[in-house]
Structure 1
Amino acid sequence: MRNQTKHYVLKIFFALLLGLMAVGQSIADDLQPPQQIIQSVSNQLQKKLQDKAFTKNFAQVVEFVDGVISLHTDFGKIAPLVLGKYWKTATTEEQQRFKREFQTLIIRTYSRAFVEYNDWTIRFVPLEMSNDVTKIVVKTEVLQPGLQPVSVNYRMFLNQGDWKVYDIVIEGVSLVTNYRSTFNEQIQTKGSLSAVIDDLAKRNAEALSAKGS
């Protein structure tokens, strides 16, 4: 995927949750538990978004977003999926470092979009699920004035009684698959996973010190 297209997809991903407040309470009452998780996260973010003084402090935004998103996203499952075959050959230290830096990448990118975007409306596709299901795809459409609806599907699984997100598919493009391709190319170019993690850590530190710019 070209960088421009990937950047567009990521922008949609990190911004789409911010518009879920548009879903009315009567509709929210009819949502299934996995859908309610997405709604709850979005409500918390949307409420904070109204505080313009809060959004001016990027470090504060990152801390808040991390606290909200991490509760409902299983980075321990996502990290191995993103690295693919390289996860199995990585040392324990490399696995831990990659998981930490990848989570930082996701959170800081989300935080930047959290400050910039709010003009979204979400439509949940009706979801039927049995009581014993442990994996589900929550389908939604992101609506924006003057634009075609964007299909966004959340892959979620039941982890010790809680529904967790482990992938997002936007217009058929998987976030996990997209990042796996990117990191695989970087590992081949740089010659090692360790070098890629070092580079990611450096970019994270620079972005955070520059307030996510």
Structure 2
Amino acid sequence: MPATKAMADNLQPPQQVIQNVSTQLQQKLRDKSFTKNFAQVAQYVHNVIDPHTDFDKIAPLVLGKYWKTATSGEQERFKHEFQTLIVRTYSRAFVEYNDWSIRYMPVEMADEATKVIVKTEVLQPGRQPVDVNYRMFLSKGEWKVYDIMIDGVSLVTNYRSSFSEEIQKKGSLSAVIDALAKRNIEALAAKGSS
């Protein structure tokens, strides 16, 4: 434990947020009896990441132009279902790949910085490191994630493109939200297989 504390002391505050969340998830999800219940895992992951992720900022970025024309009810439903999608996707990844560690790249930020990219590499035995970078901003004294880039691909940009296509195919945002809600319910009921 002292080595972890020393490492955390050398990290900048936004890096410490990522490390604290990662440590909590990794420690709990190593328990095989806990991970047998996927709905329980998803709830735990939600509780850990929610305080450090700004879905109020992410949802409009993901919907792009469709956010402005959505009703407030559609906006709330989309935000909730999108958050559920992200939580179940990451829950499944954490359960499947629980033998990982994170290397933090140096971050340069001014004392008054309100935005930063925390660059990391996720390391797994026998695999190439995966670049995972977190776009974060300072909100009321706390660093929060609003985008994740995996091997250079932005989660926000990727989902914006796929939801835009889906809205055009289905003809309305409401139909897309209904389909997303259905997929979320089925995935959580099936212990994470979607």
**Partner SS, residue 29 of structure 1:** helix
- Stretch moving more, 144-153 or 118-127: 144-153
Within 5 A, what are the aligned runs for 1:47-58? 47-58=27-38
Deviation of the 1:143 alpha carbon = 2.2
Aligned equivalent of 1:129: 109
Structure 2 counterpart of 1:189, one-letter code: K
Aligned equivalent of 1:163: 143
> Partners in 2 of 1:101 and 1:114 — Cα distance?
20
* 4+ residue segments displaced more than 3 Å: none
List runs of 5+ in structure 1 lacking aligned partners. 1-20
Aligned equivalent of 2:190: 210
Identity of aligned residues (%): 74
Q: What is the TM-score with the length of structure 1 in the denominator?
A: 0.86
Structure 2 counterpart of 1:61, one-letter code: V
Structure 1 counterpart of 2:40, one-letter code: Q
Structure 1 counterpart of 2:159, one-letter code: Y
Aligned equivalent of 2:178: 198
User: 1:46 pairs with 26, 30, 38, which one?
Assistant: 26
Q: Note the alpha carbon deviations across 1:24-56, whole angstroms, 9 max, x for none.
A: 432221000000000000111111123221111
> Partners in 1 of 2:75 and 2:83 — Cα distance?
12
**Partner SS, residue 103 of structure 2:** strand
**Partner SS, residue 61 of structure 1:** helix
Is 1:182 the counterpart of 2:162? The answer is: yes
> Partners in 1 of 2:133 and 2:117 — Cα distance?
6
Within 5 A, what are the aligned runs for 1:27-106? 27-106=7-86
**Partner SS, residue 128 of structure 2:** coil
> Partners in 2 of 1:152 and 1:208 — Cα distance?
25
Aligned equivalent of 2:98: 118
Q: Note the alpha carbon deviations across 1:56-106, whole angstroms, 9 max, x for none.
A: 122211111110011100011000000000000111010000000000111
Structure 2 counterpart of 1:99, one-letter code: K
Structure 2 counterpart of 1:152, one-letter code: V
Aligned equivalent of 1:144: 124
Aligned equivalent of 1:108: 88
Number of aligned positions between the proteins: 192
Within 5 A, what are the aligned runs for 1:2-13? none
Structure 1 counterpart of 2:97, one-letter code: Y
> Partners in 2 of 1:50 and 1:206 — Cα distance?
25
Q: Note the alpha carbon deviations across 1:106-157, whole angstroms, 9 max, x for none.
A: 1111112222112222111111222211000001112233333222210000
Q: What is the TM-score with the length of structure 2 in the denominator?
A: 0.94
List runs of 5+ in structure 2 lacking aligned partners. none
Deviation of the 1:185 alpha carbon = 0.3
Kept in 1: contact 2:30–2:98 (CA 8 A): no
Is 1:172 the counterpart of 2:152? The answer is: yes
> Partners in 2 of 1:143 and 1:47 — Cα distance?
16
- Stretch moving more, 41-50 or 161-170: 41-50
